[in-house]
Amino acid sequence: MKDIREDIAWAKINRDVLVSLENPRKLYWVIVFGALSLFSVGLGCEIYQYQVGMGVANLNNPNVWGLYIATFIFWIGMSHSGTLLSAILHLMHADWRKPIYRFAEAMTTFSLMTAGLFVMVHIGRLWQFYYALPYPNDRGTWPNFQSPLLWDAMAIFTYLSSSVLFLYVGMIPDLAICRDNLHKGWRKKLYTLLALGWEGTDRQWRNFRVTYLTIACFLIPLAVSVHSIVASDFAMSQQPGWHVTSFPPYFVAGALYSGCAAIITLFIILRYVFRFEDYMTKSILKKTVRLTFAIAMVWTYLNAVEFAAVWYGHDMDAKAVLIQKATGPFAPFWWGMVFCGSVVPLMLAFKRFQTNIPVLFAVSLLLNLGMWLERWMIVAPTFSHGYYPWVWDNDQWPSLIQWGMVMGSFGWFTLLFMVFCKVFPSVSMYEVKEMVYHRSLHLKKNETAGQGAH
């Protein structure tokens, strides 16, 4: 099985990819419509909450964070796999990433934007959020640079802007192709503008590669730091259950994990709706699945490390939280997390499932569900079972407003993503061409070697 056919003509690549900008399958519209409705629900919930007060979310004194923060971490985590595929694998010269890194990178950007929304949704006085920004003002006040939340805001903002830049820079040659192949309408103007006069000269290519590499190098530590900082939102606080040393890597592993799972999901969807069967091949899928499996096992290991550290540690309050997770009112969700996060991925170890698209689709959704539950299980049980037993609360079921906004965020993300794929080439044309070229060179080399011409 090959990652890609070596005999695809470059013109066919252009044609196939450009067609995705115009004529997707019907399912595309169904998805867009579904996403739009979900998003409207979320938006309605937010408007209601904004006007009436945070109370409608059914948060309360110990349970101050709820699903918003859990989902925030989920989306931040989701963003990591884009960076993994595009930057890390780029540096490692894994060329099978080429047909799929573009949409993964887009996923990074959009999930970060979604995560940012949750910060907004979560704060009590949305209209004053700018107090958290460090800017000179006539009050002479500054935000508190000691607060992990501020680091968080800065890390996310930097990561987002870098990701957008990375996505954009990587797209310039393709935008030029779009520019050259489309001849009318606003799109033409858009592509002309964004292509920055790309002509494909040697000088341009040289500068392009240096820039791209630089941003990639810059992005990797950033990605790791972002989720480590999100982990320190918890680890730097005083509540029981968030103090295991492996918390940051645990968060990063979880992030990559959920991201990979999401890539599988979107891979399958895009492959179908845009008819990308030639580029998003089963072979690439298989590689992705194997990568996911590896990360799942790393995550499982780190999870086990966390439980063990708590179980054998001296922090009795943290242990109480762990016991509460496993036996208390959150038990179904916690065990659900263990099942979806550690048991379900075992299926990916079997070769026959590694290319079975329906199974993979279902599994990837389950993995994401598991990872979402993981985030919820980090946030909620600690709050409902903290240091102070008087306020322990096991009756904290998020209100429909919270659920509505969580659903809305999926709608928002899908909407952005789908619109992106329709407007911009979601498969990197020039890199696929490179890939085909390299493969064919390789093939030729092998052929000549086989013939023993030397």
Q: In 182-201, where does DSSP find H-type helix? A: 185-194
Binding part of the chain for other proteins, among 21-29, 49-57, 74-82, 161-169 by CB under 8 A, reads 49-57
Nearer to other proteins, 212 or 339 (CB): 212
Interface with other proteins, residue 143, by CB under 8 A: yes
Interface with other proteins, residue 63, by CB under 8 A: yes
Interface with other proteins, residue 116, by CB under 8 A: no
Contacts of 263 (CB under 8 A, 6+ apart): 81, 85, 100, 103, 104, 107, 288, 292
Determine what percent of the chain falls in helix, strand and coil, rounding each to the nearest 5.
Answer: 75, 0, 25
Interface with other proteins, residue 312, by CB under 8 A: no
Task: Tell the smallest beta-carbon distance from residue 153 to other proteins (Å).
Answer: 7
Binding part of the chain for other proteins, among 257-265, 288-296, 312-320, 433-441 by CB under 8 A, reads 312-320
Interface with other proteins, residue 169, by CB under 8 A: no
Q: Which of 404, 377, 416, 406 is nearest to 75 (CA)?
A: 406
Judged by CB under 8 A, the number of residues near other proteins is: 61
Q: Is 424 in contact with 103 (CB distance < 8 Å)?
A: no
User: Pick from 54, 67, 295, 302: which binds other proteins (CB under 8 A)?
Assistant: 54
Placement of tokens 């059914």 in the chain: 58
Nearer to other proteins, 61 or 201 (CB): 61
Q: What is the 3-state secondary structure (H, E, C) of 387-440?
A: CCHHHCCCCCCCCHHHHHHHHHHHHHHHHHHHHHHHHCCCCCHHHHHHHHHHHH
Query: How deeply is 143 buried, as exposed, middle or buried, from its count of CB atoms within 10 A (0-12, 13-18, 19+)?
Result: middle
Interface with other proteins, residue 241, by CB under 8 A: no
Binding part of the chain for other proteins, among 17-25, 127-135, 260-268, 360-368 by CB under 8 A, reads 127-135
Interface with other proteins, residue 204, by CB under 8 A: no
Interface with other proteins, residue 390, by CB under 8 A: yes
* Residues found near other proteins in the complex (CB under 8 A): 52-55, 58-65, 122-126, 128-129, 131-132, 136-144, 146-150, 153, 207, 210-211, 214, 233, 236-239, 316-317, 320, 383-384, 386-396
